[in-house]
Amino acid sequence: NHSLCRWVLCVSLLTVSACEAADPVTDLQLRSIPEIPVPGYLESILDPTFGTTITRITGVPGDSIIGANPSLEGVWSDIARHGYSKRSPWNCDQSLLLLGRHKGTPPMLFLDGQTYEPVFGRRASFTEARWHVSRPSHMVFIHHNTLGLWNVRTDAIDTLQVFDGYADLHIGPWEGNLSTDGRMIVLVGTHDQQTVAFAYNLHSKTQHPDLLLPGVDVDWASASASGKYIVVNGDWEGHNDQTQVYDLAGQPMGARWRSYGRPSHYDLTLDGEGEDVAVGVSKSAPDEGRVIMRRLRDGRVTVLTDGGYASHASTRNVGLPGWAFVTYQNLGPTFPPYWNEIVAVALAGGMVKRLAHLHAVRTDYEAESHAVPSPDGRRVLFASNWATPADSAGDGRPVATYVVRLPDH
């Protein structure tokens, strides 16, 4: 696949301009989804359409989990997957990979980040956690009103800060991230019986003022990639999936993004000029269904794709700036050409590279693929039920986890 090979060369150079010179045309041809057998556990297959390698990294439900740690016990669940498209399963050096939604024992399953062999399991003793940006054995966690570090290998806890008077604190919930440098985190919860969000500097251990959010049904809040902004997504006055951007003192940066889901299911990153941006699917006119990039400081919109109706975007590829990895969950017949695919979208525009078919039928939330790249952008993890029909309860099971690897040449 010469087109894909040229793209891999481009991402290794981290330059969109070189890519545009090699292959400036976005592929809008509809690609039929091939019917191919589900891979076996730790078996790799070649995607016959796009030429990438897909490896199944979770086992058959009911089979024993056997790993490098002899104390690891349990069996594979019929839901064995990662958390979400905006929560990186890989740690910073990619030595570990967390399956945070293994609906069995152990509930948190850590794999070798390269071979995918099970290493150890843990039970969650916190509300939420995110991988530390430079300490591969640690996650930053929040539990009730306590912020700390969790050593996943030793299971040791180090408390960083207790926020007296606060309750039900979250990193999001579920969709927030630390700034790219790991300096800033935004927590959302209640204080004096009011909904609040606030930024906390992990390096200086200083808390920024409460951002009061009266009358807002907060879906999630997050630090921006640079750590300069607080991003809040939610329901304002009955209008849902809207976004307001604030500075760290709680002052709004321009008008609220009042159009429904413009964008939605987005992730936060930096563009080529170092500006904080949101990248995701637009659910409102005039760019409905397309992937857009919206600048945080002033709300300026740039449309990045033509055709299709995207599902989730992920920019967890912190070591490969300039790209977003997008899940297209829909199977058709509307919104061609990206049917049930993972694609990479250049933030500079004019470049979409198609990586693999998902073979996923969205029967319920657990069956959503939520594709998320590795920190170096060379692999993409996703969940799939491999087109298993829904059962009497409406669920398509089992849901397993797969990794797409881009060619090395």
Q: What is the pLDDT of residues 252-278, one digit of tens each?
A: 999 999 999 999 999 999 999 999 999
Task: Check pLDDT > 80 for residue 20.
Answer: no
Contact 190, 196 (CB under 8 A): yes
Q: Does position 284 have pLDDT exceeding 90, yes or no?
A: yes
287-346 pLDDT, tens digit each = 999 999 999 999 999 999 999 999 999 999 999 999 999 999 998 778 999 999 999 999
pLDDT surpassing 80 at residue 3:
no
74 class by beta-carbon count within 10 Å (0-12 exposed, 13-18 middle, 19+ buried): middle
Question: What pLDDT sits at residue 21?
Answer: 29
Average pLDDT over residues 66-74: 76
- Ramachandran region of residue 353, left (φ > 0), alpha (ψ -120 to 50) or beta? beta
pLDDT, tens digit (0-9, with 9 covering 90-100), for 347-374 = 998 899 999 999 998 888 899 999 999 9
Contacts of 201 (CB under 8 A, 6+ apart): 183, 184, 207, 208
pLDDT attached to residue 27: 74
Distance CA 89, CA 403 (A): 11
Name the percent of the chain lying above pLDDT 70.
91
Average pLDDT for the chain: 90
> Could you give the percent of the chain with pLDDT greater than 90?
81
Q: What is the model's pLDDT at position 393?
A: 64
pLDDT exceeds cutoff 90 at 105 = no
pLDDT band at 152 (very low <50, low <70, confident <90, very high): very high
pLDDT score at 68: 65
- Confidence check: pLDDT of 23 > 60: no
When pLDDT is averaged across residues 154-180 and rounded to a whole number, the result is 97
Q: What is the mean pLDDT of residues 222-242?
A: 97
Model-level pTM?
A: 0.92
Q: Are 405 and 55 in contact (CB under 8 A)?
A: yes
pLDDT of residue 73: 83
pLDDT at 181: 98
Q: Is 185 a residue whose pLDDT tops 90?
A: yes
pLDDT at 375: 98
Determine the average pLDDT of the residues in 36-43: 95
Q: What is the mean pLDDT of residues 111-119?
A: 96
Report the 3 state secondary structure along the chain. CHHHHHHHHHHHHCCHHHHHHHCCCCCCCCCCCCCCCCCCCCCEEECCCCCCEEEECCCCCCCECCCCCCCCCCECCCEEECCECCECCECCCCCEEEECEECCCCCEEEEECCCCCEEEEECCCCCEEEECCCCCCEEEEEECCEEEEEECCCCEEEEEEECCCEEEEECCCCCCCCCCCCCEEEEEEEECCEEEEEEEECCCCEECCCEECCCEEEEEEEECCCCCEEEEEEEECCEEEEEEEEECCCCECCCCECCCCCCEEEEEEECCCCCEEEEEECCCCCCCCCEEEEECCCCCEEECCCCCCCCEEECCCCCCCCEEEEEECCCCCCCCCCCCEEEEEECCCCCEEEEEECCCCCCCHHHCCCCEECCCCCEEEEEECCCCCCCCCCCCCCEEEEEEECCCC
The mean per-residue pLDDT over the stretch 68-88 comes to: 89
